[in-house]
Structure 1
Amino acid sequence: MDRPVQVPSSSTSCASGSCGACGSGAAVPASSLTLRISNMDCPTEERQIRQAVAGIGGLASLQFDLPARQLTLEGTSNALDLAVREIRSAGFEPGPLEPAVDGRDTSSCDGDACAVPLASRPSQPVYRSRGAVFRIADMDCASEEADIRRALEPVKCIEGLSFQLGARTVTIAAPEQALAEALQAIRGAGFEPMPLSSPGKDADDSTDADEHGEIKSNLPRLLVALALATLAEVLAFAFADSPVAKALELALAAFAIYFSGWSTYRKGFAALRQRRLTINTLMSVAATGAFLIGQWPEAAMVMALYAIAELIEARSVDRARNAIQSLMALAPDDAQVRQADGSWRSAPASEVAIDQVVRIRPGERIPLDGAVSAGTSAVNQAPVTGESIPVDKAVGDAVFAGTINETGEIEVRVTSEASNSTLARIIHAVEQAQGSRAPTQRFVDRFAAIYTPAVFLLAIAVAVLAPWVADWTWQQSLYKALVLLVIGCPCALVISTPVTVVSALAAAARRGVLIKGGTYLEQARELRVIALDKTGTVTEGKPKLVHWESVSGDQAANARLAAGLAGRSDHPVSKAIAAGLSAASASVSNFKALAGRGVEAVVDGGCYALGNHRLVEERGQCSAELEQKLQEHEQQGHTVTLLMSDAGVLAVFAVADTIKPSSRQAIEELKSLGVRPVLLTGDNAATAASIAKEAGIDEAQGNLLPEDKLSAVEGLQGRHGPTAMAGDGINDAPALAKADIGIAMGAAGTDTAMEAADVVVMNDDLRRIPEIIRLSRRTHGVLWQNISIALGIKAVFFVLAIFGSATMWMAVFADMGASLLVVANGLRLLSNGPRIAGSAKPGTSQNS
C-alpha cells in the first residue's frame, strides 16, 4: 500500500562530504526530516514531544501537523538523530514518509558519516521501495531485529531500511560499498543474510520454500543432538563412577552442543562483543558454565532442548505472521488475454498490462483488478471484502483479483497491474501493520530490556554471595545461578505480544478489515463514542423513490410525464424517480435544466416541470394543503419533488436514502458494547433526526460541513473520551484524521480511502465495527494472559531454582513450555472460523 511521500530537503548532505555525490570538504548545512507519528494526534502529545526534544543543540525548528500526524524537523544530522531517539524514548513511533534520502547519486561512498542517521532512516517504507532484499533465517522476533539495527548503526550512507519479520527479510537501500559493509555488520552480529530476488511475490515464494527447507535440514540435526544429550544423561545416571563413561559423556555432550548450539553461540557471543545481553547470551553463558563445572549432560540437554524449542516456536510464529500470505495464492498465476486478432492466449498475470482484456469462465478466480467489459455473472468477493453472498456484476462493475467468478463467463478490462491489485495492497498493508508495535508490545520490550540484565545480575549474586549467606558449596551456587539464567530467558515474554497482535491483524484481514497496526487494534477496546457519517455508512448512499401520489389528473398519465422528464436528467433524485416508475416515458422536447430547482420541457405537446419546493413557490402554485404535505415528508427525511403543469401541481414524489439492512443490528451491537453512536451529516437537521431515529441512534447533528464534522469529533472527545469516526475516507478526511481511530467504509479498490484512515473496512457493512471492538478486547485479554503465563511460570521456577531442586533441563522445559503456551494462546485468534467470534447475536444473519 503506497503512502504519500515527502522527500527531505535537498539541503541534506553528507556530514563529512564523503559520499560520492557530496564532494569533499563540503560544509554541513541543516537537514529537513518529515516523520509520521501514528500515535500523535492531540495537543497533549505534541507537548510531550516538544518536551522530549527540548534542549537538543542544533535542532532549528519543529512543525507539527496533528490531523496528518506528521512532524517536520529541521537541524543538523546529529540533532535529527538524537531527536528521533528521544521521541521514541517518550513512547512514540516516528517513521519517515520517504524510503530514500533523495534523488542523489550515492553510488560511491567511502563509509564516512552521511547526513541522514540510521535512527532517522525509514523503518517501514512503501512496499515497492527500492533496495536489496535479504533473508535472515535466524531473525524471528523484535529483539533480533533490534540487534541487527544496532549492528547497522555505524554503517553510513544507508538510505532505507525495512524489516519484515514474518518473511524474515530485510530490505537495505544503499550504495554498493555501504551495502557490503552492512552485510558484514549483520554477520558480525551473528546472523547470516542471504540475497533474495525482490520484495515482491517472487521473494515471498522463495522465502516460503527456504523456510520449509530449513525445517527439513535443521530438524534431523537437532534430533541427533537431543539423542546424544539423552544418551549422555543415561550414562551419567547409570555409570556415575566409571571414568570411561565420563569420557564418553563428555564426548557425547560436546557433539550435542556442536550440532544444536552453533547458531545460539554465534549470536550470543556477538551480542557480548557489543556489550549487550540477549536471550542467546543467557543460553550461551548457561550452557558454557554448566560444561565448565562438569555438568556435561545437562549442558548438552539445555542447548538441544533450547534449539528445538526455538525451531518449534519459529514455525508457530510463522503461522501467525504468514496467515495473510495465504491470500496471495488466491490470485491465479495465469490469465486468458485477448490478442489483437481477437484470439485468446494464456499469459502470466504479472505480465498483463493495464487496459488489456482477460476472460474468466465460471468457477475460475479473477486474476487481476478490472472492470467488466462483457457478460454478467455473480462474483464471490469474500477474500477481499468478507462478503458472504456473491455480488452480481454487469458491464462497468469493478471486480478484484482473487475473487471467484461463479455463474457466467465475463470479460474484464484490466485496471491495475498484478503488483498493485487490491489484494496485493491488502497483503502489504497487513505486512506493514505487523511491523508497527502495539502499546503493550512496547511495554514488554522495555520491560525485557530491564529484565534480562536484572536476571544476569541476580545469577551473579547467587553465584558469588550464596556460599557466604547459605550453606551451599561454590559448585552448588554456580549451578543454581546457571539454572536462573536458563529460566530467566525472556523469550516467552518477548514473543507473547507480537504473535497475538499479528494473529488478530490476520483474523481481521480475513474478514475484509485492515487494521493499520497494533496501536489501533489495542485502542479500539477503549472507544466510548463512534461518529458515523450518514451517506454510504449508515444509509445505502443511493436515493430511492419511496412514495409518490397524484394530486390531480390521471395517475398513469402523471407517471408517464414524470418518467419522461426524470429520464432526461442526470440528477440523482431524478434518476431515482425514473428508476422507481414502471411507466413508459413520454416524448420530450425543448428540455431545459433549472439550476438548483429542477427541469422543464415540452412533453406530449404540453409544458411541464419537475422540481423542488423552491420551484413550486416561484411558479406561485403552492397552497396551505400542499405545504403541510411537503412538511410531513421533510420531517421523515424525504427529498420531495413535484410534477407541475401550467394549471398546477399534478403529483408529489418522495425520494430518500434508505437505511442499510445491517445498520440497525450494528447500532444495537455498538450500544451493547457501551459505545455511543452519533450521526454526523451535511443533510438538514430534520433528515438527520429521521435517519438517526430509524437506525436507532440517539444523537444526530445535521448541516455539517467537513470542518464542522472535525469540530464535532473534537467535542465528542472532550465530553466522552476516545472517539472513532467512520466515513468514506475522502470527504470526511479531516474528521477521520482527528478521531482517535479513523475508519474508512467501503474502501475496496480505493487507494485514497485506504490511505486516509487507521482502519479500513473493505465493504460497507457497518457490523464490522463492533467486530473490531470485540476483537480488540479479546486481543487485550489474550495479551495479558500471555504476559501472566510467561512471568508466572518463571516466578515459580525462580523459587524452585533458589530454594528447591530445579535442574537446568527442567528449566529449559519450563521456558520452552511457556513459549509454546503463549504462542498457542495467541494463535487462537486465528481460529475464529469465517467470522470474529461473538460479532453477532445467535440467529442473526451474517450476510453482507
Structure 2
Amino acid sequence: MADSPEERSAKSTSKAGCCAFDAVSRTEPQAKSETRSETRPAASTCCGAAETADTPQSSEASPSASRLALTIDEMCCPTEEGVLRKALADLPGVEALSFQLMQRRLVVHHHGVDRDALAARVRDTGMTPRFEDDQADDSRSTTTTPWGRLALAGILALGAEAIGWLGLTAGLLTPLLAMVAIALVGIPTWKKGLVALRHGTLNINALMSVAVTGAMLIGHWAEAAMVIVLFTLAEHLEARSLARARQAISGLLDLAPPRARVLDEGESGTGEWREIDADDVAIGDLVRVHAGERLALDGEIVRGDPSLDEAPITGESLPRDRSLGESVYAGSINLAGDFDYRVTRRANDTTLARIIHAVEEAQSRRAPTQRIIDRFAAIYTPVVFVLAGLVALGWPLLGLGPWLDGVYRALVLLVIACPCALVISTPVTVVSGLGAAARQGILIKGGVFLEQATRLTHLALDKTGTLTEGKPRLVRSAALGDSSDAEGQRLALALAERSNHPVSRALVQGLGSQPASQPAVSLEGVEERGGRGLVASEADSGATVWLGNARLAGEMGVSQAQLNSEDSDADNDDAGIVWLGRDDRLLAYFAVRDALRSTSRQAIERLHRQGVSVSMLSGDAQARVDAIAREAGIDEAYGELLPEDKLARLDALSRRGVCAMVGDGINDAPALARADIGIAMGAAGSDVAIETADIALMNDDPASLPRLIDLARSTRRLLVQNIALALGIKAVFLALALTGHATLWMAVFADLGSSLLVVGNGLRILRQRFDG
C-alpha cells in the first residue's frame, strides 16, 4: 500500500543524520533576511515617481489570512501597482497585497474584505478587476483596441501626415482626419491618463495624453494623430510579447492533461475504467496510463514498469525507467506499454503545479538590479518633466526661438520622459530567465538568487546524494572479538531500522533478508546524534549499544589505535565503515559503498572552466573523503565534520566570495540556509526542498550545476544589453529633442520601439539550451 501524503511528509522531515558519515542536524533553516523577507518593494512608477512602500500592506501576510486573486488586464507595470496600493491601502480587512505584474494578477490577503468594495476601489482607478474564483466570468477580456479600428486610424493619420508632406492646402481636412483617428484609438489612453493625473502619477498614459493634447493645441494635428496611433500599435505588440514571457511559466500547466482514466471502485463502483476531470480525482484513486499519454497527477506505481520522459519536471531529455512503488509526476510522458498508479496528490498540488506556483511567487521578489532601476526611474521622470517645463518657458525668454517652438520641444521631452523600456527591461528578462530555468528542471526562488548565481565563486557540496548516487549498499560485514556474525547483524539491524538515513537504509536492505535465528532485540531510549550515529540501551541487560562512525566510537571509549587496527583488517578500501559496539567494546563493522555519479567529474571540470572552485563537506572519514575528491577532481575536501563544523566552513568560504551549498534540502537544511545560495538537488517530489531551498534542482544530476550558472550568466548578459539599449536610446533622443531634430512621432517610435526591443531581447533566453 502506498504511503499517504501525511506519512510521506513525516518520513521526509525525519531524514536526519544517524549512523554514517554525514554531519546532519534537524534544525529548520533560518531565513536569509536580505533575500527571503517578503517585505513589499517600493512601488516605483514605470513612468513616474516612486510610491513609498510604507503602507500597511508592506508586511508579510499572516497564515490565517484568506487569499483573493484578481486578474486586472490594465495592470502591466509598477505604475498601476502604485496606484492600486494607494487605492486599497485603507480598505477594511486588507492585510497584504501581492502583485504579479507579468501575469497581471493581484492577490489580496485579507480578513473578511468586502468584495464589492474592493472591486469598486479598483474600478475607481480606471482598471477592471475580474475575480479568478468567479466561474460566471471565465473568459479573458481584453482592453486593447480592435485591429480593424487601429488600421483605419493609421490610414487616417498617414493621410493627415501626407497632406503636410506634399505641401497641399487642405483647410480643415488635416484636423478632421486627425481628430477622427484620435477618436478611434486615443480615447482609452486619455481616460487612463486622466485617472493617473487624478492620482498624481506621471505614467505613460498621462504623459502621452498631455503630449497629444498639447500638439493639438499648437496646431500639430497630424503629429498628434500619428503619435497616438503609433503608441496604440506599440502597446498591442508589447502586450503580445509580454504574454509570451508570462506563458513561459503558465504554459507548463498545459503539460498535464485535464482528464485521467480512473478505476471506478468501491461499493457502488462498476469496476470499470472511465475518464474524468483531473480536478475530480481523489487521493488514493487508481489511474491507468497508456503508451504515449501524459500523466495527469502525481502518484506511486502499483502495476507495470514504465519508461517515462520526465523532462517537464527534471529537465532531463533521457527517459527514466520506473518500477513498482516508485513515484511518478504529472506532466511526464509514458513512452511504452501501460501501467497503473495510485494518486498521492490532488491536481492543484502536484509537483508540476508547485513548481509553477513557486516561480510565479518568485516573480514578485524584485532582483537587486530591478530595485536600482526603479529608483533611477523614480528620479529620471520628474527631472525630465521639470526640464520640459523649463524648455517651454525658457526657450522664448532666452531668445532661442518662438514660444511654439519651445512648447513643441517640451512635448517631445514629455514623451521621452517615460522610462518604460528601462523599467521593463529587468523584469521581462528575469521572468524569462526564471521560466527558462523551470523548463530545464531548475527552480529558482527569485531574481535575487538568479543574480547571485552569476557572481558565484565557490561551491560546497555534500557527498552523499550529490556527488555520489545516494544509494549506498552494504558490501561486507565482519564480527569482531568474540562476538558472532548473527549477534552483530541482529543488533545492527535493530538500530538501523530506527533511522531514515541512506546508510541506515543500506544496512536494513543488506541485513533484512537474512534469517532471524534469535529473538528480536528490545531497545530503549534510542538517541540520534547528528553526524555520529545511534545510541540506545538494551532492555534486558541495560548495556549501551551503538552504531555509527569513528567519532561516535571514540565517544563510547574505543581507542583510535583499536579502530586503526580493525580498519586495517577491513582492507581500508574506499568503502565507509560503520562500527557497532556495546559499551566500550567493538562487536562488528559494516562496509558501505556509495558509487560516484557518472556525471560528477565532468560537472566539476565544467565548473572549473566557469571559474568556480569546488569544495566537499562531509561527515565521512577524511581518508575516504580525500579518495572521492581525487576521483571527482574537487579542489578542497573536508571530512569528519559535525553540523556546526559545516557551518563554520561555509562562513570561511563566504568570506572568500559568493558561496553556494549543494545538498538534498532536508539533511543539509542548516547549511543551505547559512550559504549565500542554498541549492537542493533531486528536489522532485520533496515539499521540504522546494519550500526551503533558494534554488531547487528537480533532478539529481550534478551537470545541472554548471547549467544553472550558464543560464544565470546568459540572463545577466541580456539584462545588461537591455539596460544599455534603453539608456542609449533615451540619451540619443534627449539630445535630438533639445537640438530640435526629433519630432513627436519619432519620440514615440523610439520610446515604444525600445520597449519592444528589450522585451524581444529578454525573451531570447527562452530559446536557449544550456547542455554544455
TM-score higher than 0.5: yes
Provide the C-alpha distance between the structure 1 equivalents of 2:138 and 2:513, rounded to a whole number of angstroms: 62
Per the alignment, in what secondary structure is the counterpart of residue 592 of structure 2? strand
Q: Quick one: structure 1 residues 327 and 87, their matched pair in 2 at CA, closer, same or farther if it must change by over 3 Å? A: closer
CA displacement 1:397-441 (0-9 Å, x = unmatched): 001111111223211111111011111001111111111111111
**Preserved CA contact (<8 Å) 1:561 1:585:** no
**Preserved CA contact (<8 Å) 2:308 2:334:** yes
Provide the C-alpha distance between the structure 2 equivalents of 1:520 and 1:67, rounded to a whole number of angstroms: 16
Q: Quick one: structure 1 residues 87 and 271, their matched pair in 2 at CA, closer, same or farther if it must change by over 3 Å? A: closer
Per the alignment, in what secondary structure is the counterpart of residue 471 of structure 1? coil
Does 2:763 correspond to 1:823?
Answer: no
**Preserved CA contact (<8 Å) 1:527 1:721:** yes
Does 2:164 correspond to 1:227?
Answer: no
- Residue 526 of structure 2 is matched in structure 1 by none
- Residue 666 of structure 1 is matched in structure 2 by 603
Q: Which amino acid aligns with 2:576?
A: H
Provide the C-alpha distance between the structure 2 equivalents of 1:570 and 1:641, rounded to a whole number of angstroms: 12
Does 2:417 correspond to 1:495?
Answer: no
Per the alignment, in what secondary structure is the counterpart of residue 667 of structure 2? coil
Instruction: Give the TM-score normalised by structure 1.
Output: 0.74
Q: Quick one: structure 1 residues 706 and 573, their matched pair in 2 at CA, closer, same or farther if it must change by over 3 Å? A: closer
CA shift, 1:567, in A, is 10
CA shift, 1:806, in A, is 1.7
Provide the C-alpha distance between the structure 2 equivalents of 1:828 and 1:310, rounded to a whole number of angstroms: 20
* Corresponding residue to 2:623 among 686, 693, 701: 686
**Preserved CA contact (<8 Å) 1:744 1:753:** yes
- Residue 702 of structure 1 is matched in structure 2 by 639
Provide the C-alpha distance between the structure 2 equivalents of 1:372 and 1:241, rounded to a whole number of angstroms: 81
CA shift, 1:611, in A, is 12
- Residue 202 of structure 2 is matched in structure 1 by 277
Does 2:44 correspond to 1:119?
Answer: no
- Residue 195 of structure 1 is matched in structure 2 by 131
Per the alignment, in what secondary structure is the counterpart of residue 368 of structure 1? coil
Instruction: Give the TM-score normalised by structure 2.
Output: 0.81
CA shift, 1:817, in A, is 1.9
- Residue 671 of structure 2 is matched in structure 1 by 735
Q: Quick one: structure 1 residues 206 and 129, their matched pair in 2 at CA, closer, same or farther if it must change by over 3 Å? A: farther
- Residue 316 of structure 2 is matched in structure 1 by 387
Q: How many residues align?
A: 693
- Residue 242 of structure 1 is matched in structure 2 by 170
Provide the C-alpha distance between the structure 1 equivalents of 2:620 and 2:420, rounded to a whole number of angstroms: 55
- Residue 400 of structure 1 is matched in structure 2 by 329
Q: Which amino acid aligns with 1:67?
A: Q
- Residue 314 of structure 1 is matched in structure 2 by 239
- Residue 454 of structure 2 is matched in structure 1 by 525
Q: Which amino acid aligns with 1:824?
A: G
Tell me which moved more, 463-472 or 497-506.
Answer: 463-472
Per the alignment, in what secondary structure is the counterpart of residue 322 of structure 1? helix
CA shift, 1:488, in A, is 2.7
Per the alignment, in what secondary structure is the counterpart of residue 359 of structure 1? strand
Provide the C-alpha distance between the structure 2 equivalents of 1:460 and 1:429, rounded to a whole number of angstroms: 46
For the aligned residues, what is the CA RMSD? Answer: 4.0
**Preserved CA contact (<8 Å) 1:544 1:658:** no
- Residue 417 of structure 1 is matched in structure 2 by 346
Does 2:253 correspond to 1:324?
Answer: no
Q: Which amino acid aligns with 1:484?
A: L
Does 2:711 correspond to 1:782?
Answer: no
* Corresponding residue to 1:440 among 366, 369, 394: 369
- Residue 707 of structure 2 is matched in structure 1 by 771
- Residue 375 of structure 1 is matched in structure 2 by 304
Does 2:394 correspond to 1:456?
Answer: no
- Residue 505 of structure 1 is matched in structure 2 by 434
Q: Quick one: structure 1 residues 564 and 725, their matched pair in 2 at CA, closer, same or farther if it must change by over 3 Å? A: closer
Q: Which amino acid aligns with 2:242?
A: V
Per the alignment, in what secondary structure is the counterpart of residue 133 of structure 1? strand
Does 2:73 correspond to 1:134?
Answer: no
Provide the C-alpha distance between the structure 2 equivalents of 1:736 and 1:624, rounded to a whole number of angstroms: 33
Q: Quick one: structure 1 residues 84 and 403, their matched pair in 2 at CA, closer, same or farther if it must change by over 3 Å? A: closer
Q: Quick one: structure 1 residues 310 and 475, their matched pair in 2 at CA, closer, same or farther if it must change by over 3 Å? A: same
CA shift, 1:513, in A, is 0.6
Matches within 5 A, 1:469-480: 469-480=398-409
Provide the C-alpha distance between the structure 1 equivalents of 2:563 and 2:444, rounded to a whole number of angstroms: 54
**Preserved CA contact (<8 Å) 1:278 1:452:** no
CA shift, 1:323, in A, is 0.9
CA shift, 1:631, in A, is 6.2
Matches within 5 A, 1:79-98: none
- Residue 465 of structure 1 is matched in structure 2 by 394
Tell me which moved more, 560-569 or 478-487.
Answer: 560-569
Identity %: 48
Q: Quick one: structure 1 residues 161 and 578, their matched pair in 2 at CA, closer, same or farther if it must change by over 3 Å? A: closer
CA shift, 1:447, in A, is 0.8
Q: Which amino acid aligns with 1:133?
A: A
Per the alignment, in what secondary structure is the counterpart of residue 345 of structure 2? coil
CA shift, 1:475, in A, is 0.9
Provide the C-alpha distance between the structure 2 equivalents of 1:566 and 1:473, rounded to a whole number of angstroms: 97
Does 2:30 correspond to 1:67?
Answer: yes
Provide the C-alpha distance between the structure 1 equivalents of 2:111 and 2:401, rounded to a whole number of angstroms: 58
Matches within 5 A, 1:804-815: 804-815=740-751
Q: Which amino acid aligns with 2:406?
A: S
Tell me which moved more, 262-271 or 791-800.
Answer: 262-271
- Residue 517 of structure 2 is matched in structure 1 by 589
- The structure showing larger relative contact order (alpha-carbon pairs under 8 Å, at least 6 residues apart) is 2
**Preserved CA contact (<8 Å) 1:566 1:574:** no
Matches within 5 A, 1:613-652: 627=566, 629-630=568-569, 632-633=571-572, 636-639=574-577
CA shift, 1:500, in A, is 0.4
Q: Which amino acid aligns with 1:696?
A: G
- Residue 544 of structure 2 is matched in structure 1 by none
Q: Which amino acid aligns with 1:394?
A: S
* Corresponding residue to 1:677 among 598, 604, 614: 614
CA shift, 1:570, in A, is 6.5
Q: Quick one: structure 1 residues 653 and 432, their matched pair in 2 at CA, closer, same or farther if it must change by over 3 Å? A: closer
Provide the C-alpha distance between the structure 1 equivalents of 2:287 and 2:168, rounded to a whole number of angstroms: 75
- Residue 263 of structure 2 is matched in structure 1 by 338
Provide the C-alpha distance between the structure 2 equivalents of 1:194 and 1:318, rounded to a whole number of angstroms: 18
**Preserved CA contact (<8 Å) 2:29 2:670:** no
**Preserved CA contact (<8 Å) 1:67 1:734:** yes
CA shift, 1:143, in A, is 2.6
CA shift, 1:587, in A, is 6.3
**Preserved CA contact (<8 Å) 2:416 2:747:** yes
Provide the C-alpha distance between the structure 1 equivalents of 2:549 and 2:273, rounded to a whole number of angstroms: 53
Does 2:183 correspond to 1:258?
Answer: yes
Per the alignment, in what secondary structure is the counterpart of residue 228 of structure 1? helix
Q: Quick one: structure 1 residues 762 and 394, their matched pair in 2 at CA, closer, same or farther if it must change by over 3 Å? A: same
CA displacement 1:273-306 (0-9 Å, x = unmatched): 2222122221111111001100011011101101
Provide the C-alpha distance between the structure 2 equivalents of 1:733 and 1:575, rounded to a whole number of angstroms: 20
* Corresponding residue to 2:223 among 266, 287, 298: 298
Provide the C-alpha distance between the structure 2 equivalents of 1:725 and 1:191, rounded to a whole number of angstroms: 45
**Preserved CA contact (<8 Å) 1:85 1:119:** no
Q: Quick one: structure 1 residues 612 and 749, their matched pair in 2 at CA, closer, same or farther if it must change by over 3 Å? A: closer
Provide the C-alpha distance between the structure 1 equivalents of 2:709 and 2:164, rounded to a whole number of angstroms: 56
CA shift, 1:576, in A, is 5.5
Provide the C-alpha distance between the structure 1 equivalents of 2:65 and 2:321, rounded to a whole number of angstroms: 37
**Preserved CA contact (<8 Å) 1:367 1:402:** yes
**Preserved CA contact (<8 Å) 1:158 1:178:** no
- Residue 103 of structure 2 is matched in structure 1 by 167
Q: Which amino acid aligns with 1:261?
A: G
Provide the C-alpha distance between the structure 2 equivalents of 1:752 and 1:456, rounded to a whole number of angstroms: 50
Provide the C-alpha distance between the structure 1 equivalents of 2:513 and 2:400, rounded to a whole number of angstroms: 104
**Preserved CA contact (<8 Å) 1:378 1:390:** yes
CA shift, 1:725, in A, is 1.0
Provide the C-alpha distance between the structure 2 equivalents of 1:430 and 1:336, rounded to a whole number of angstroms: 29
CA shift, 1:754, in A, is 0.9
